[in-house]
Amino acid sequence: MPVRPRLSVLWRDRAGRFSALKAATLLALTVPALALALRWSLVGLGARPLNAAIHDLGLWGLRLLLLSLAISPARAVFGWARGLMIRRMVGLAAASYLAAHFTLYALDQGFRPLHIGHEIVHRVYLAIGFTALVGLAALAATSTNAMIRRLRRRWKQLHRLVYAVAALGLLHGLMQAKSDITQPAILVGFFAWEMLFRALPARRQSAPLVLFLLAFVAAAATAGLEAGWYAAATNLPWRRVLDANLMPELYGPRPSAWVGMVALAVAILATARSVFNRRGRAGPSAPEPVPLRG
Ligand code: HEM
């Protein structure tokens, strides 16, 4: 008889005990959807509410997808093994937000399958988004324990697809953003950090110096990618976009600054952890020898 998954797996650990971490994650993952629904019903979402909701859900889907990719680095840098318990949940939440993103798009198009198919085939950014969504659906469908057992080694290979899905999702986000790519550019920067981190040898991944260097490289790459995108896809002056990174007092923090600050915070925390661990290993200082009285 097939075993039906119980809803309580969402807040219980493998041993069936209540997990505060899983329950808190579940609650946190519903917040963007609830906030959107509340904003929509209480104050409205502007002149094109469906379009605004499509944007919001697309961005949250992508943020959560990148967050799920950040859980392995969090284990490597901070030894946070418990994070693995919520990785699948975060990945499935990303897939749900992006499924809702597509459903609202279909609603916006009057749920006309032929018209939607025609649009997807003829608009490159939709074709790219759709390819990413199909890939994500395949990953979500094979994320059950039964599928992990059945596919064994092939499961890991299949789930490496998540990096291609994220890259396509980012490209789709950039392409639709037209003249303001600030939000997708921030996400591209975080993805660049995650990819560079993965390329490091495992024993170097928690080395503070390497993480400081990575913060600098990821921030510079974000600035370069942002300016490069404007140069290739728009007629906005890319030199001024690049210069804006050096003038936060005029333009506010640019995507490179957000990426740099978060990556720097990771490097600082990793340094604090390594100092703390070294002290812990040294243990309390040896007791002073008591002089023998004769
Ligand atoms: C994994 C798949 C996908 C991801 C990660 C994704 C992500 C995004 C992101 C980040 C945005 C931009 C939000 C912003 O900058 O405000 C966006 C916009 C949009 N996406 Fe997607 N998306 C995906 C799939 C799809 C699919 C399959 C469709 C429809 C076939 C679609 C239709 C749209 C539309 C219509 C917009 C707004 C475009 C506009 O206002 O001109 N997306 N998406």
> Both 26 and 59 in a single domain?
yes
Q: Is the pLDDT of residue 281 over 90?
A: no
Residues 70 and 189 in one domain: no
In a domain, 147, yes or no: yes
56 and 165 inside one domain: yes
At residue 94, the 3 state secondary structure works out as helix
Calculate the average pLDDT of the chain: 93
Model pLDDT, residue 294: 36
Given a cut of 80, whether residue 288 has pLDDT beyond it is no
244 Cβ neighbours under 8 A, 6+ residues apart: 250, 251, 254
Q: At what angle do helices 49-69 and 84-108 cross, to 10 degrees?
A: 160
CA-nearest residue, atom 42 of ligand 1 = 129
Residues 6+ apart with CB under 8 A from 291: none
pLDDT higher than threshold 80 for residue 284: no
Does ligand 1 lie within 6 Å of residue 242's CB atom? no
pLDDT single digits (tens) 91-146: 999 999 999 999 999 999 999 999 999 999 999 999 999 999 999 999 999 999 99
46 and 150 in a single domain? The answer is yes
Q: How many CA atoms lie within 13 A of 35 on its CB side?
A: 9
In a domain, 264, yes or no: yes
Contact 175, 124 (CB under 8 A): yes
Looking at the fold, whether 149 and 267 belong to one and the same domain comes out as no
- Give how many domains the chain has, as a whole number: 2
Is the pLDDT assigned to residue 262 strictly greater than 90? yes
Decide which of 246 and 103 is more confident: 103
For ligand 1, atom 24, name the residue with the nearest CA.
129
Domain span holding position 88: 11-35+42-176
- pLDDT range class, residue 3, cuts 50, 70, 90: low
Q: Which amino acid is at 27?
A: L
User: Mutation test of ligand 1: which of 105, 115, 170, 183 has the most ligand atoms closer than 8 Å to its C-beta?
Assistant: 105
Token pair recorded at residue 46 = 């502007």
Chain centre to alpha carbon of residue 103 = 22
Residue 174 Cβ contacting ligand 1 at under 6 Å: no
Question: 12 has which bridge partners?
Answer: 18
Q: Is residue 292 part of a domain?
A: no
Residue 245 tokens read as 């990174």
Banded pLDDT at 13 (limits 50, 70, 90): confident
Clarify whether residues 59 and 101 are in a common domain.
yes
In a domain, 151, yes or no: yes
Q: 0.75 exceeded by the pTM?
A: yes
The predicted structure's pLDDT at residue 8:
83
| pLDDT at 290 exceeding the cut of 80 | no
Where is the domain boundary, 114, 143, 176?
176
Domain match, 20 and 136 both: yes
Say which residues have a Cβ less than 8 Å from residue 242's Cβ, sequence separation at least 6.
223, 224, 227
Q: Going by C-beta distance under 8 Å and a sequence separation of 6 or more, which residues neighbour residue 63?
A: 187
